Amino acid sequence: MQTRKKYIFLTFLASWLLLFFFGGDQLRRFAFFSGRKAEARRSWPRWTDQSLLKSFADPEELQRDGDPSLLSPRERRAAWLSAYRSSRCRMETCFDFSRCERHGFKVFTYPQERGQPVSETYGKILSSIERSRYHTLNPEEACLFILSIDTLDRDHLSGQYVRDVDEKIRGFPLWNGGRNHLIFNLYSGTWPSYSGELGFDIGHAILAKASFDTESFRPGFDISIPLFSKEHPQRGGDRGWLSQDSVPPKKKYLLVFKGKRYLTGIGSGTRNALHHIHNGHDIISLTTCKHGKDWEKHKDTRCDKDNVDYERFDYQELLHNSTFCIVPRGRRLGSFRFLEALQAACIPVLLSDGWELPFAEAIDWGRAAVVGSERLLLQIPSAVRCIRPERVLAFQQQTQFLWDAYFSSVDKIVHTTLEIIKDRLSPHRSRSRFLWNTLPGGLLVLPDFSTHLGDFPFYYLQHGYSPSKKFTAFIRAVSQAGSLSQPILRLIQAVSGSQYCAQIVVLWSCEKPPPPSGKWPQSAVPLSIIQGRGKLSDRFFPFEAIQTDAVLSLDEDTSLSTSEVDFAFLVWRSFPERIVGFPTQSHFWDAEQGRWGYTSKWTNELSIVLTAAAFYHRYYHSLFTEYLPAALRELVDGLAACEDILMNVLVAAVTKLPPVKVTQRKQHKEGVAQQAECRDGAAGTPPAGQRSPSAPRPAEGKGSAGSRSLSQRQDCLDQLADWFGYMPLVSSQLRLDPVLFKDQVSVLRKKYPGLEK
């Protein structure tokens, strides 16, 4: 049977082939030719005289596009000022740049008025601004003003609604028609139209508003912010939920939604259709009619069945177990779901036509969300199924990056808003779109430091750069003796012996003047001396003298050998965004005391590398000095040994990664007692305990310097964790050694035999 079939088939095929070999020509001519002709694609004709066609404009016209009889540029700009106001405001017409020139970008918040309570959320926004490095108490030097009147909820049916805002605003002498003011709003308009109505005249003020619609949004002027709940944390914020990358995404569901179904009114078009895509299998789309007071009045036939299904699934469980989450419009365009999905690494599928997405001026949402169309709801399932797994993985990671960089706390949302406005003031010193959308994010990249990507420690791989091949040794000297101590001489010797050392910079942190240049040892590399100002945070000041990407931070009593330095520098070149160093310490959660503990004992883990001997990127000096608010640096100056912890915390907060420990020959001294000594003699004692009454006064006796400094470091750690809102430090269990370190092989084969002594 089988064989016969085969033969029949083969014969058939053979004859078919023969037919085409010999009769193809005829066949084509008769059967297909005529038909094809009619079907042939009619493309745009090649005109016989196309080379004779005239250009759309003659070259003269293109190059001499000017007409002196027109308004002069100055007159035109003046005319704009009056023509483009309120709803047509742009930075160049409604913002007074001159206010920002003298003192830079400073933000003033109106003082709270008595009997004028603000909501919890607005309180958080105000306190975020007050915590920011741009805050000023002096309205004279301010560039941007923030009202003390709570404008978040402008739904006049709401309890939070503040009445007579117009009148109050007109009473402010600084108001100036709203010029250079920033107004925050989360809810505007009310049932039934939920329009953008705020109930007062904002004049020339910039509006930072949730649920912004593209139509009333003034591009380049207003800012769309996300809707966040009043439980949203002030600082720190929870991390995203993605703890692992997996391809394909091992989630139970593909696409989920659980929420209200509006039976009537604005937004019901989309919400009423969502149940159509529910398949009960990998697409779960549940809606309920039960909301509002009189839902039963509008109840339709689906409601009862829907409500039963609705109760069967838990929203949190769906969020955790789905790859995509539908984020449809509510009554207003934005909804809480957006941030919830973002945090859950559930890729948002936006169904909110006309929504100006949060921070879209900076954030490229196409990398983290699927911007769907309300009209094409039914295509969504097939569209998301077609997204390739690598892309899904990239989407998921991007949601987590964006959440953590810009949204996880009120601080981040407010600071992002401020940075976007700041960037507009000097376009040539602003962040490119690339910076905003790549780790570690725009807030942590200071355009004032540089506008070139290669100057930052974060983008080497993405742009094919590599960190500089030399480093600057930066030694802090605190000894009060008039001459140079033995350790520092040895140190300069060892460091300058490294083939990678470009220069040595000594930060002289004592009152006594440094020894004359003749007293310093002759070394192969240039040596320069900077006079410090007696503050502990000095050592992380972005000194002009530091020219290389890498900084080797040293204390004068640190003992290092040339091969240790060489090896550590090579390791740093592999991890340019981290701190790479020798002596380490670690933090831990002290469950008994309910606080963070700190230990300098030998442990199996490490999370802090002492900056008495560590390599890091010089950008961290700028970040330390410019990015951290002054209050935090004051805190550090007030404690005896906190600045290096702060540096570690800062770098960990930026990279989310632990520091790297490299091989060290022997235990290094901690060098803390020494510092205290210098400060005693050198009258550089800061006003201790001003910011932190709990901190012990530094340097009173010399006997228990060790234990005292330990308790100070403990305090420091606690205060930093509190300030950041979480504990940024990350622990590591490893140390990097040379490949043949302590291997059973001849010493002659080893590149770094000196490290094994």
Residues recognised as catalytic: 644
| Size (the chain), residues | 757
Angle at 483 between CA 548 and CA 556, to 5 degrees: 40
Q: In terms of CB distance, is 103 or 735 closer to other proteins?
A: 735
Q: Smallest distance from the beta carbon of 561 to other proteins, in angstroms?
A: 16
Q: Smallest distance from the beta carbon of 7 to other proteins, in angstroms?
A: 12
Q: How many angstroms separate the CA atoms of 228 and 326, rounded? A: 17
Strands 153-154 and 144-146: unpaired
Q: Smallest distance from the beta carbon of 52 to other proteins, in angstroms?
A: 9
Q: In terms of CB distance, is 20 or 191 closer to other proteins?
A: 20
Q: In terms of CB distance, is 26 or 486 closer to other proteins?
A: 26
405 within 8 A of 340, measured Cβ to Cβ: no
- The count of other CB atoms within 10 Å of the CB of residue 703 is 8
Q: Smallest distance from the beta carbon of 590 to other proteins, in angstroms?
A: 19
Residue 109 has which token pair? Answer: 């918040």
Q: In terms of CB distance, is 54 or 114 closer to other proteins?
A: 54
Q: In terms of CB distance, is 511 or 756 closer to other proteins?
A: 756
b/e sequence 413-448, b meaning 16+ C-beta within 10 Å: bbbbbbbbbbbbbeeeebbeeebbbbbbbbbbbbbe
Q: Smallest distance from the beta carbon of 345 to other proteins, in angstroms?
A: 10
Q: In terms of CB distance, is 113 or 743 closer to other proteins?
A: 743
Q: Smallest distance from the beta carbon of 155 to other proteins, in angstroms?
A: 24
Q: Smallest distance from the beta carbon of 480 to other proteins, in angstroms?
A: 34
Name the DSSP class of 215: T
3-state SS class at 617: strand
Q: How many angstroms separate the CA atoms of 696 and 632, rounded? A: 17
Q: Smallest distance from the beta carbon of 610 to other proteins, in angstroms?
A: 14
Burial of 31 (0-12, 13-18, 19+ CB in 10 A): exposed
Q: Detail the DSSP E strand segments found in 181-282.
A: 181-185, 187-188, 206-209, 223-224, 253-260
Q: In terms of CB distance, is 707 or 744 closer to other proteins?
A: 744
Of 753, 724, 702, 524, which is closest to residue 631 (Cα–Cα)? 724
Q: Smallest distance from the beta carbon of 107 to other proteins, in angstroms?
A: 21
What is the separation of C-alpha 335 from the centre of its chain, rounded to a whole number of angstroms? 22
Q: In terms of CB distance, is 70 or 481 closer to other proteins?
A: 70
Q: In terms of CB distance, is 433 or 512 closer to other proteins?
A: 433
Q: Smallest distance from the beta carbon of 397 to other proteins, in angstroms?
A: 4
Q: Smallest distance from the beta carbon of 604 to other proteins, in angstroms?
A: 4
Of 472, 631, 651, which is closest to residue 132 (Cα–Cα)? 631
Q: In terms of CB distance, is 175 or 459 closer to other proteins?
A: 459
Phi, psi of 649 (to 5 degrees): -65, -40
Of 497, 645, 477, 666, which is closest to residue 557 (Cα–Cα)? 477
What is the DSSP track for 467-526? --S-EEEEEEE---SSS--HHHHHHHHHHHTSTTEEEEEEEE-SSSPPPPGGGSPP-SS-
608-609, strands of its sheet edge to edge: 595-599, 584-590, 608-609
- The count of other CB atoms within 10 Å of the CB of residue 523 is 16
Residue 287 has which token pair? Answer: 């809606």
Q: How many angstroms separate the CA atoms of 515 and 481, rounded? A: 10
Tell me the HSE value of 140 on the side-chain side, using a 13 A CA sphere: 1
**Residues ≥6 apart with Cβ < 8 Å to 645:** 598, 608, 713, 716, 717, 720
Residue 97 has which token pair? Answer: 């740049």
Q: In terms of CB distance, is 683 or 739 closer to other proteins?
A: 739
Name the DSSP class of 280: S
